[in-house]
Amino acid sequence: MSVTLTPAAAERARQYMSAQPQAVGLRFGVRKSGCSGFAYVIDVAAAAADADVVFEQHGVRVLVDPASLPHVQDTEIDFVSRGLNQEFVFRNPQVKGECGCGESFTTRDDLPA
């Protein structure tokens, strides 16, 4: 199991974290949302929880809570520019389907709800 960052995502994460001196890494997970079931959550982490699973790549720590881990395992996080827009993009092999607006997704049926 792992969560990986592309060099572009790691650079963007470092930029966010440099503005927050208490930052210990990037928190990544899911929350129930939208018409499909889950939405990604990504934010600067001010602290690590004892149960967090920590992945480190390109000098950036990614902290994932145990409930989110089955839904995001093996996800690659990228940061892309498309025209005037810039955003994190998630390549997640656990995704089974997405809603029409792209805001939420479902994962495999064998994963916990």
Over residues 8-20, the pLDDT tens digits come to 999 999 999 999 9
> Which range is least confidently modeled, 21-35, 80-94, 99-113?
99-113
Full residue range of the structural domain in which residue 58 is found: 3-107
Domain assignment present for 42? yes
- State residue 48's pLDDT score: 93
In a domain, 82, yes or no: yes
26 falls within a domain: yes
Kindly state whether residue 113 falls inside one of the protein's structural domains. no
Question: Into how many domains does the chain fold?
Answer: 1
**pLDDT tens per residue across span 16-65:** 999 998 999 999 999 987 666 888 999 999 999 999 999 999 999 999 99
Residue closest to 17 by CA, chosen among 9, 2, 76: 9
Which among 34, 41, 43, 53 has a CA at the least distance from the CA of 106? 34
**Domain CATH for 49:** 2.60.300.12
pLDDT at 112: 66
